């Protein structure tokens, strides 16, 4: 099932900021990261996802894909925000909890809707 966002591109940018950059910013403030700007936190999410992917590609055969992805993700957060490794774990946990909370609130408000199935599809 895919999601559909009600509204235009500006609302989409606001929701993306609420779901991605703001939770990382809150986590960065809680662990007292060296860099806490909203734009940097948004860019950190992109770099961390890329770091996770590269970690899984290069180290996945040695330590397992999921563990390698998590390690790459945390190392990217550590490098981008200037935290310790434990601080990066804290940022990731706080960002996940806040993102889920914001997603649930936006869904409850009706801003995030489940899209209808494609025409001609059969659901059982």
- Domain for residue 122, yes or no? no
Residue 1 has what pLDDT? 47
- Pair 42, 18: CB distance under 8 Å: no
- Domain for residue 94, yes or no? yes
Residue 78 has what pLDDT? 92
- Pair 8, 118: CB distance under 8 Å: no
Cross-strand partners of 4: 113
- Pair 58, 68: CB distance under 8 Å: yes
**Is residue 32 classed as helix, strand or coil in its secondary structure?**
coil
One digit per residue, the tens of pLDDT, for the chain of length 124 reads 455 555 667 777 777 777 788 889 999 999 999 998 888 888 888 888 888 888 888 888 888 888 888 888 899 899 999 999 999 999 999 998 988 888 888 788 876 665 666 666 665 5
* Cα within 13 Å of Cα(4), Cβ side: 8
Structural domain containing residue 61: 3-111
- Domain for residue 90, yes or no? yes
The answer to whether the pTM exceeds 0.75 is no
Structural domains in the chain (count) = 1
- Domain for residue 117, yes or no? no
């Amino acid at each position: 099932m895919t999601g559909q966002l009600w509204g235009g591109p500006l609302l989409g940018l606001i929701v993306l900021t609420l779901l991605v950059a703001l939770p990382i910013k809150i986590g960065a403030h809680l662990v007292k990261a060296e860099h806490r700007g909203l734009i940097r936190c948004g860019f950190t999410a992109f770099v961390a996802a890329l770091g996770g992917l590269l970690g899984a590609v290069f180290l996945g055969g040695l330590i397992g894909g999921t563990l390698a992805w998590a390690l790459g993700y945390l190392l990217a957060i550590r490098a981008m925000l200037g935290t310790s490794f434990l601080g990066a774990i804290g940022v990731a946990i706080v960002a996940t909890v806040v993102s889920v909370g914001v997603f649930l609130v936006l869904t409850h408000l009706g801003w995030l809707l489940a899209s209808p199935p494609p025409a001609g599809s059969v659901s059982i």
